Amino acid sequence: MNSKLGDKLRQIRKLKGFSLREVESKTGISNAYLSQLERGSASNPSPKKLKSLAECYGIPYADLLSLAGYLPKDNEIQQGLFASSVDARSNTALGSAIKNAELSEEEESLVAQYITFLKSQRK
């Protein structure tokens, strides 16, 4: 059971604005299994599934492998996951600020929650 991996997957999915069904259609991974991964109740996700999720979310595959325990833990990789999820916006002021902010894990989570909240307020 890996709640850290699940928390990051949920956080990035929400930042990307994807529903579980959308991720299912993009990756072929059932939304039930995706939900289990995000809750941390699915153990030992296959590297193939992690690769599909990394490609779908536009994040480094090695970061997911590390969070899932397949690679040695590297604190810098784990903290860089949020910043890599906004690489497409790295030319914007927000993207640059996030990449250079050196946020703690807690701060990173709060920023992600706030962005998700802002997106939910759109009409």
| Span 79-120, pLDDT tens digits | 455 555 555 555 566 666 766 777 777 787 778 777 777 777
Domain layout of the chain by residue ranges: 3-120
Which tokens in the block code for residue 72?
């040695």
Q: How many CB atoms sit inside 10 A of residue 85's CB?
A: 23
Q: What is the pTM of this model?
A: 0.67
Question: Residue 33: how many CB atoms within 10 A of its CB?
Answer: 14
Name the band, by pLDDT with cuts 50, 70 and 90, for residue 51. very high
pLDDT in tens, 68-82: 888 765 544 444 555
CATH fold for domain 3-120: 434 Repressor (Amino-terminal Domain) (1.10.260)
Whether the Cβ atoms of residue 20 and residue 44 lie closer than 8 Å to each other? no
Report phi then psi at 28, rounded to 5.
80, 5
